[in-house]
Amino acid sequence: MKRTVFIAAAALVLAAGCKDKKQTEMDNPFFSAWGTPYEIPDFGRIKTDHYLPAFEEGMKRQKAEIDAIVNNPEAPTFENTVLAYEYSGRLLQEVSAVFFNLSSSNTSDEMDAIEEAVTPLLSAHGDDIALNAKLFARIKAVYDQRESLGLNGEQMRLLEEQYKGFVRSGANVPADKQARFRELNEQIASLTMRFAQNVLKATNAYSKKLADGSEVTLQMPSWEPFMQTCPDRKLREELWRAYTDRCKDGEYDNTKIIDTLVNLRLERANILGFETHADYVLDNTLAKTPDNVYRCLMDIWTPALKVAKQERDQYQAMLEKDEPGAKLQPWDWRYYAEKLRTEKYSLDDAVVRPYFALDSVLQGAFGVAGKLYGLTFAERTDLPLYDPEARSFEVKDGGQTIGILYMDFHPRASKRSGAWMTEFRGQQRRYNFELRNSKFEIQNSELEEVIPIISVVCNFTKPTADKPSLLNFDESETLFHEFGHALHGLLSKCTYPSLAGTNVPRDFVELPSQVMENWCRHPQVMKQYAHHYQTGEAIPDELIKKIEAAASYGQGFATTELLAASLLDMDYYTLKQKRTIDPLQFEQQVMDRIGLIPEIISRYRSPYFQHVFTTGYDAGYYSYTWTAILDADAFEAFAESGDLFNPELARKFRHLLESGNTVEPMELYRQFRGKEPSAKALLKRKGML
């Protein structure tokens, strides 16, 4: 069925919701309490035609709540304005969390059509709030007298972040530019959605049948092992081009979207008073300016590129032996890297994987959280699931339930590639605000403790009839990484939802995730969780030593491809004038400028670079490197103490996780570390000192 038919059907659903609201509310599970354990969304009751009416009603309710706030005859106060706004839009937040999480992990043509229908509506609704002059005037009135209000630290942080958020969302945009500002927001929202849908569809559209009857797809768990082990050079080239040519032309072409999107974001930044989109984005981060980001990236780029060239020379020599006169190409890199890794460290993936069965690695991550923070994880089989493959766990701290954790591990056509953490509900202490008699106010003073519902989504190889899902070591680190994000959400102890959990600057949010990778790779911890799936034998010391020795192997490639993507992102968003952009040409110019060798490409080519064109890392992909400095420095504290689970350090780091964005993030880091971070530990870890 064509997309236009789905959009028309979505519109009919919306119209039906308008015609018979009473019937819709009776049938729609979003309009009443779930009645499930911990009020988890009852996924089995949700039908696709429930979403649009729920979105519409959610926007309608929040509009009424905002109207009540701005028309309150009483003078603006922290409670009747700032707090009221913080807790407005509850229904809209609930339906959005469910819908957009499932549109990434369990989508369909119908879900795509609903997303297309609702995205411009949500954009317009958000602008109606952000550009509401009366609402901003009330918030500003409270903000201007903030020093005399006797607010505690978290209240002051909420007020400051709320005021800053309105300014960044256009509250000060001149009246004659507001219409254009709204147009930009709507177009940007629609384009980012289309970009993501194109990548998913292009990825799913390709598969290659091999002579032995097996099949290779463009999902990373299928594609990368093939590239590492296939001796047929022509076949490697074919699969490499299939992967790297996605969305550059044809039915799922993203190049025109990139051209438009970059220019629209620049125009919007200019309206907000910033020279470039990167200036706008970074103004609200730890890095602050593009110059600081470029300086950070280039400090590591120089030693990384030097190592990458040494790696290239090694692989070229190996290729020369196999095919005299042949020149190393990007599709050769993974094959010879794996071959040399196996020869140099006798580290064969086929030998490593049996010790890293998915459940063993998962229990290893749970064990680390238990030793550091006293948490326990009990699998529940009675909780609602959004897909039969998902699993749910009850998370307890000292016997008290503090959260629910969903884990969704394997690829499927309805799931986008990659790995990520998200939440169906964030931690908060909820005030019972209700709209009554045209007033939106607290109905009682008791705070409701709301536990988070966190989800970790990955794309690991599925188990077979006679073998569990076996991870390579990189995938094991990925699981620990996303679990670190989950801990940030689960351990949150904040009052206000907008400050809780992972709602921190982008160049800080990766610290809790990346630091967990250090425990994953430490020999002491590996001994505790890495056991052979058939014999139960703990991973041998000899194999651990090989993994350790290999840890810095290939870092020239891994670091330069990451930095190349980060610099590409920055170059797109530091453009100061609108221009026609040919993404492939632009990308090549960037790679030439920074001196990337042709045997390596950016980790993501522009047409499928979802981080910076879809998922909110525009002018922010550098964050992985920025926070790698923090995570290496943070783990160094545990290593220096001689105790990987040092109770005092664990207590301090837990405080960092619990605090969300209630305190300036770098102040939290200094409280933990006792000093400013240093890049020395990162360069040491990568073998680049």
Contact 139, 82 (CB under 8 A): yes
As given in the structure block, the two tokens for residue 237 are 């080239």
Distance of alpha carbon 287 from alpha carbon 508, whole angstroms: 10
Distance of alpha carbon 541 from alpha carbon 301, whole angstroms: 34
Which one, of 62, 124, 70, lies nearest residue 93 by Cα? 62
Instruction: Tell me which residues are annotated as active site.
Output: 482
For residue 500, CA distances in Å to 286, 296, 420, 505, 658 come to 18, 28, 18, 12, 8
| Segment (H or E) for 453 | strand 453-457
Contact 566, 585 (CB under 8 A): no
- The DSSP secondary structure of 234-302, one letter per residue, reads HHHHHHHHHHHTTTSSGGG--HHHHHHHHHHHHHHHHHTT-SSHHHHHHTTSSS-SHHHHHHHHHHHHH
The upper half-sphere exposure of residue 525, i.e. CA atoms within 13 Å in the direction of its Cβ, equals 27
Classify residue 639 as exposed, middle or buried by CB count within 10 Å of its CB (0-12, 13-18, 19+): middle
Residue entry with tokens 């109905």: 443
Which one, of 436, 408, 439, 441, lies nearest residue 422 by Cα? 408
| Segment (H or E) for 65 | helix 48-70
Q: Which amino acid is it at 528?
A: Q
Tally of CB atoms within 10 A around 206: 16
Residue entry with tokens 């490409």: 601
Contact 549, 521 (CB under 8 A): no
Distance of alpha carbon 599 from alpha carbon 616, whole angstroms: 29
Distance of alpha carbon 514 from alpha carbon 527, whole angstroms: 20
Tally of CB atoms within 10 A around 37: 14
Tally of CB atoms within 10 A around 183: 15
Paired residues of 380 in beta bridges: 392
Residues across the chain:
689
As given in the structure block, the two tokens for residue 335 are 């094959």
Q: What is the 3-state secondary structure (H, E, C) of 1-40?
A: CCHHHHHHHHHHHHHHHHHCHHHHHHHCHHHCCCCCHHHC
Q: Are strands 428-430 and 439-442 parallel, antiparallel or unpaired?
A: unpaired
Distance of alpha carbon 65 from alpha carbon 85, whole angstroms: 8
Q: Are strands 375-380 and 215-217 parallel, antiparallel or unpaired?
A: unpaired
Paired residues of 454 in beta bridges: 405, 423
The upper half-sphere exposure of residue 43, i.e. CA atoms within 13 Å in the direction of its Cβ, equals 17
